[in-house]
Amino acid sequence: MKIFAFVIDIYQRNPRRFFLMLIEMISVNPVPLFQIFVALQYPSLISICLTLIAVLVSHFAINCVIMYNLGTDTLKITDGCLAKGATGKTIPLHSILNDRFPFEYSIYNDIEHWLFQMNGLLNKRSLDEMIYLHYAPGQRLCKAYTRSHLFSSHIFISHLPEKDEAIPKFLFLHELFHVFGYVLARPTTISISIPSHLTLVVWSVYFMKWTSAGLASLSMLALLLFIWNERSRWESQRTQVISELLADALALGYMTTEELKLLRSCKAIDRLKDPNFSKTENRFRIASLKAHIDVALAGKKDLIDELKEEEIELRTPPAILITFILSVFFCSTNVNQPLVDDLINMSIFAVLLLLFFLLALFRYMHFSSKLSHALDQSFPTDHLD
Amino acid sequence: MHTEITKQILKKYFKDECDLIGRENFIQLFDESSRVIEADYGENMPIFEVIGFLVGIIGFVDSAFSLYERMTSSTEQNIKSDQFILLARKQLQIPEDVDDSVIISILEMVAKDSKEL
Ligand SMILES: [Zn+2]
């Protein structure tokens, strides 16, 4: 029942967004749709069973990759940072915000509130569980190990901002507000689409009638899959710049006028270059930051507040999505009638993928317990107050 | 080590950078007991770039001091500031993104401090 409540919740928030999300979801995982088109041409019990298997196959394929990546990301924290000898303590975010910025303790509640606003029922965890902050004094560490917004991020820093340090405070809040970036940028989309699109290729090649019409529709589908994924890749790069601007703007919302003045007069902000960005992107980002500070200083903070109200979501243009779904349809009109043998073969395919998923899951669980053990050893939890 | 004069140089010419990284990071730049963890993977936060920049300046000041010492040990005469600056700009690796006038002022401070010792 929870899933229905979740779907209704999204629909009520914004019906247009709901439908766009729906066709995007279909284009991220088009295997079930392909098989539904096939089942409509050859209605039979086999077709219905195959549709169920199509759902399972693409589901397992996607989750194999997610689990595998999650395991690797977890291992990276243990091997890349903890094994190098970093030590310190893990401080819950509410404890830092409470201790360092007592008058703005609401920052914590605000972030949780907005996350709920944007994510709805999807967001069940507290901010303390979404971002783990590891304080490692004297080790010159400023690393963020960020993963999908559905999993926790780990931030390692060797410096906690003092109450009177305007610019370190700004930079600290900026990092926290990146949690919105994960929600908006949806970096997971591309890692989901690749395994499910590969599954679609396997599925459609398997059932294809090898006629010229079949070949033509298959090549059109392959071309569109390529365009779709290239576009997502390009898009996720572009969202990174926007997520920097958004994190800046949100952090500015918690600066006093005095602090804003200090930040505006600090020439060193020109040196805040992101190594992942091009020269132009970095310039654009710094210029926007300065412009936003000026807006806030002119007393128009509500302009910045609008930023977080707005739904800054970059999605695949509907034209690409619709062409893509049409090509899935054309491809499905050139398939052979599914037989019992096909049902058996595809069931074996599903079982194999399930086994791979279980392997990836055990791998993740192993690395995950290794990480939490290492964190307990090197970064025991401690409160500031 | 020339910690005091290096701190003076940073506070005089790179005050904004020092404010940006915060007091705790600033102290750690000079703390002998602090060890640098070179973590892999993940994203370096932008503040890391600025810390790296200041580390570069400290290295530059250090190498300027040792250049001056080498010059004094090879000649009996007093070294003129101009001579030192000319050689330093030729031999030392000049930090990027720093105004030429600031480089010259830093080298002058190094020469003046070395003479006083
Ligand atoms: Zn950022």
Spatial distance between the Cα atoms of A24 and B67, rounded to a whole number of angstroms: 63
Lowest mean pLDDT, pick from A52-61, A95-104, A319-328: A95-104
* Separation of CA A301 and ligand 1 centre (Å): 21
Nearest Cβ partner for A144 among B20, B24, B45: B45
What does the pLDDT read at residue B8? 93
- In the predicted structure, residue A149 carries a pLDDT above the cut 60: no
Domain ranges of chain A: 2-378
Mean pLDDT of A225-231: 86
Q: Do A140 and B28 count as a contact with CB atoms less than 8 A apart?
A: yes
What does the pLDDT read at residue A1? 55
Look at chain B and report how many structural domains it folds into: 1
Give pLDDT tens digits for A103-129: 655 778 777 777 666 655 555 678 888
Q: CA torsion angle for A16, A18, A21, A26 (degrees, to 10)?
A: -110
What does the pLDDT read at residue B61? 95
What does the pLDDT read at residue A251? 87
Mean pLDDT of B63-91: 85
Mean pLDDT of A158-170: 91
Q: Is A151 helix (H, G, I), strand (E, B) or coil?
A: coil
Task: Read off φ and ψ for residue A381, nearest 5 degrees.
Answer: -70, 140
Q: Which residue, among A84, A135, A160, A167, would best test binding to B if mutated, counting the most B CBs under 10 Å from its CB?
A: A167
What does the pLDDT read at residue A303? 62
Interface A:B, Cβ pairs < 8 A: 125
- In the predicted structure, residue A102 carries a pLDDT above the cut 80: no
Mean pLDDT of B62-86: 85
Mean pLDDT of A251-279: 90
Give the number of other Cβ atoms within 10 Å of residue B48's Cβ: 20
Spatial distance between the Cα atoms of A219 and A213, rounded to a whole number of angstroms: 10
What does the pLDDT read at residue A130? 83
B36/A contact by beta carbon, under 8 A: yes
B90/A contact by beta carbon, under 8 A: no
What does the pLDDT read at residue A356? 96
* Separation of CA A264 and ligand 1 centre (Å): 18
What does the pLDDT read at residue A233? 80
Residue of A nearest to B36 (CA): A139
What does the pLDDT read at residue A245? 84
Q: Do B50 and A272 count as a contact with CB atoms less than 8 A apart?
A: yes
Mean pLDDT of A287-295: 91
What does the pLDDT read at residue A3? 63
* Separation of CA A70 and ligand 1 centre (Å): 22
Chain A residues in contact with B30 by the CB 8 A cut-off are none
Lowest mean pLDDT, pick from A62-76, A154-168, A222-236, A357-371: A222-236
- In the predicted structure, residue A330 carries a pLDDT above the cut 90: yes
Q: Do B48 and A142 count as a contact with CB atoms less than 8 A apart?
A: yes
What does the pLDDT read at residue A120? 57
ipTM: 0.88
A279/B contact by beta carbon, under 8 A: no
Q: Do A171 and B41 count as a contact with CB atoms less than 8 A apart?
A: no
- Structural domain for B83, as ranges: 3-116
What does the pLDDT read at residue A304? 62
Mean pLDDT of chain A: 85
Min Cα separation A54/chain B (Å): 36
Residue found by looking up tokens 């030429």 in the block: B100
Lowest mean pLDDT, pick from A239-248, A336-345, A347-356: A239-248
Min Cα separation A104/chain B (Å): 20
Judged on CB neighbours under 10 Å (0-12, 13-18, 19+), A341 is exposed
What does the pLDDT read at residue A121? 52
Lowest mean pLDDT, pick from A44-48, A242-246, B15-19: A242-246
Chain B residues in contact with A80 by the CB 8 A cut-off are 39-42
- In the predicted structure, residue A263 carries a pLDDT above the cut 80: yes
Tell me the percentage of chain A whose pLDDT exceeds 90: 49
CA triple A151-A173-A129, angle to 5 deg:
25
Q: Which residue, among B11, B19, B26, B36, would best test binding to A if mutated, counting the most A CBs under 10 Å from its CB?
A: B19
- At residue B12 the predicted structure's pLDDT band, cuts being 50, 70 and 90, is very high
* Separation of CA A85 and ligand 1 centre (Å): 26
